[in-house]
């Protein structure tokens, strides 16, 4: 099948690297790295990494009573750790990768500059984007849409634990209906926030960015998307 996608932004939750107190689970890291390697030479690839395996802002705010802004900055630093781990893991496997960070971390990562970012992709490097948008109050889902639109990607894809968007949480409501395709407005009015941050969907609507949500834990799915298979759920106009 002809590959209709040239440039892709892949966002994954930090939980794809580890969970339940194990920040970096070698089996999970290895799985993710192999999935990325399977597409690295087939497409121009940017990756936004989450931080949920280490820490997210909201629980810090709620459980420790931290100021929300401080909590979110701490959350963003978690994504820098994940980005560095992914960069090193890909390089170990001889994949050319570079980290750009939306928060200054000059000893560790290049600063986010959209022109430089585009040229990394043009040069065939896997571009790993840390620290989301660099601003508190949102999540890396918004970072994925924002950076995806700056990079003129054909599609933003979000890898999760479920195979797409349902009209209710399928783990709690077994009769929940799978939605293979939905409009931005439908997503925003149906309160489907569990699967994707609504701020990201609102931003995607404004910037005309299409988002595909898919099951990252079925081996080969990343490759299937790159090859043009319409798996998961598409959120578009």
Residue closer to ligand UDP (CB basis): 23 or 37: 23
Question: Helix H segments across the chain?
Answer: 26-40, 57-64, 68-92, 114-122, 140-150, 184-189, 198-207, 221-226
Euclidean distance between CA atoms 235 and 237, whole angstroms:
7
Question: Could you tell me the smallest distance in angstroms from the CB atom of residue 162 to ligand UDP?
Answer: 14
Q: Which residue has the tokens 């571009």?
A: 127
Question: Could you tell me the smallest distance in angstroms from the CB atom of residue 19 to ligand UDP?
Answer: 10
Euclidean distance between CA atoms 25 and 21, whole angstroms:
10
Record the tokens describing residue 216, joined without a space: 């990252």
Question: Could you tell me the smallest distance in angstroms from the CB atom of residue 49 to ligand UDP?
Answer: 8
Question: Could you tell me the smallest distance in angstroms from the CB atom of residue 43 to ligand UDP?
Answer: 22
Phi, psi (deg, nearest 5) at residue 188? -70, -30
Residue closer to ligand UDP (CB basis): 82 or 205: 82
Euclidean distance between CA atoms 182 and 62, whole angstroms:
32
Residue closer to ligand UDP (CB basis): 51 or 170: 51
Binding site for ligand UDP (CB under 6 A): 13-15, 50-52, 56-57, 72, 75-76, 78-79, 132-133, 135-136, 138-140, 142-143
User: Angle at Cα 191 formed by Cα 190 and Cα 193, nearest 5°?
Assistant: 135
Pairing label, strands 165-166, 178-179: antiparallel
Residue closer to ligand UDP (CB basis): 66 or 227: 66
Question: Could you tell me the smallest distance in angstroms from the CB atom of residue 231 to ligand UDP?
Answer: 20
Residue closer to ligand UDP (CB basis): 13 or 221: 13
């Amino acid at each position: 099948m002809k590959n209709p996608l040239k440039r892709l932004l892949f966002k994954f939750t930090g939980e794809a690297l580890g969970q339940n107190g194990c920040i970096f689970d070698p089996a999970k890291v290895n799985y993710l790295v192999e999935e990325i390697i399977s597409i690295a030479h087939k497409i121009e690839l940017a990756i936004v990494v989450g931080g949920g395996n280490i820490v997210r802002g909201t629980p810090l705010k709620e459980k420790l009573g931290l100021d929300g802004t401080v909590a979110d900055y701490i959350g963003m630093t978690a994504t820098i750790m994940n980005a560095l781990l992914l960069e090193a893991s890909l390089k170990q496997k001889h994949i050319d990768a570079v980290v750009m960070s939306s928060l200054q971390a000059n000893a560790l990562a290049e600063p986010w500059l959209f022109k430089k970012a585009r040229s990394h992709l043009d040069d065939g490097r896997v571009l790993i984007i840390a620290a989301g948008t660099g601003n508190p109050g949102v999540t890396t889902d918004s970072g994925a849409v924002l950076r995806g639109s700056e990079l003129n990607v054909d599609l933003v894809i979000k890898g999760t634990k479920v195979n797409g968007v349902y009209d209710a949480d399928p783990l709690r409501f077994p009769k929940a209906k799978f939605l293979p395709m939905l409009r931005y407005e439908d997503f925003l009015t149906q309160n489907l926030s569990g699967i994707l941050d609504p701020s990201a969907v609102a931003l995607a609507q404004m910037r005309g960015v299409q988002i595909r949500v898919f099951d990252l834990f079925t081996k080969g799915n990343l490759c299937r998307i790159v090859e043009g298979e319409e798996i998961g759920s598409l959120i578009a106009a």
